[in-house]
């Protein structure tokens, strides 16, 4: 038998809708700030600047060749979907990646970084993810709304960098719930 609860008293000047809402929500418990098992690339105690490690000198030269900085956006539309696959990646795998059916095991958020910082973080993230045996990761590059007339700089750069990185087998824009055209699912070499 369920217990009947008396409605909470209304505050002075409170509308009936507000009272009904409070009554309906009284048993709701807030979610944890970060649900257990949710992938996180960087511990929250570290600041954004502390996460960025300067590349080794020999790695910086190789990075410029593989992942060059771009001067301006190549007219990329913020709403345009990104998609790429190397030879040997089956269409079925690509379809599953596009639908978000391959679980993302880690994520990197590039919001607020300049192009050089973003490139270094992305290269480091891909290397660490591959070394850790991760197969699919998510990279949030943003839609470039604050870039003005130049268009989405990081989105265009990430598109170019991921295509040129040999550990990347395929990538596609994420589902709307995971960032839409402001993020990509990346399939790494096994």
What are the pLDDT digits (tens) for 26-42?
Answer: 888 776 555 555 444 44
Q: What is the largest CA-CA distance in the chain?
A: 72
Number of domains the chain is built from: 1
- Between CA 163 and CA 105, with CA 139 as vertex, the angle to 5 degrees is 110
* Predicted confidence pLDDT, tens digits, the chain (190 residues): 555 555 555 555 568 888 888 888 888 877 655 555 544 444 444 444 444 455 555 555 566 666 666 655 445 555 688 999 999 999 999 999 999 999 999 999 998 888 889 999 999 999 999 999 999 999 999 887 776 666 788 888 999 999 999 999 999 999 999 989 899 999 999 8
> In this structure, what CATH number is given to the domain that contains residue 138?
3.30.1370.110
Is 15 domain-assigned?
A: no
pTM beyond 0.85, yes or no:
no
- How many residues in total does the chain contain? 190
Distance, CA of 169 to CA of 186 (rounded, Å): 8
What are 138's strand-pairing partners?
107, 185
Is 144 domain-assigned?
A: yes
Distance, CA of 24 to CA of 35 (rounded, Å): 24
pLDDT in tens, 81-108: 899 999 999 999 999 999 999 999 999 9
Where is 137: in which H helix or E strand? strand 136-140
Full residue range of the structural domain in which residue 87 is found = 80-188
Is 5 domain-assigned?
A: no
Is 173 domain-assigned?
A: yes
User: Could you tell me what percent of the chain has a pLDDT over 70?
Assistant: 64
pLDDT at position 78 is 57
User: Could you tell me what percent of the chain has a pLDDT over 90?
Assistant: 38
Is 166 domain-assigned?
A: yes
Q: Is 93 exposed, middle or buried (0-12, 13-18, 19+ CB in 10 A)?
A: middle
């Amino acid at each position: 038998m369920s217990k009947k609860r008396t409605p909470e008293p209304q505050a002075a000047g409170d509308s009936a809708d507000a009272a009904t809402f409070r009554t309906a929500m009284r048993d709701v418990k807030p979610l944890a700030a970060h649900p257990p098992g949710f992938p996180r690339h960087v511990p929250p105690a570290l600041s954004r600047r502390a996460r960025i490690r300067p590349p080794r000198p020999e790695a910086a030269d190789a990075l410029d060749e593989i992942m060059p900085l771009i001067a301006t956006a190549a007219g990329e539309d913020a709403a345009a979907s990104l998609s790429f696959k190397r030879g040997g990646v089956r269409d079925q795998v690509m379809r599953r990646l596009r639908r978000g059916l391959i679980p993302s095991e880690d994520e990197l958020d590039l919001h607020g970084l300049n192009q050089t910082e973003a490139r270094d973080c992305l290269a480091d993230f891909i290397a660490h993810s591959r070394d850790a045996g991760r197969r699919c990761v998510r990279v949030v590059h943003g839609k470039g709304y604050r870039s003005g007339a130049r268009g989405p700089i990081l989105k265009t750069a990430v598109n170019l960098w991921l295509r040129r990185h040999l550990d990347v087998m395929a990538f596609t824009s994420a589902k709307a719930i995971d960032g839409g055209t402001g993020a990509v699912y990346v399939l790494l070499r096994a």
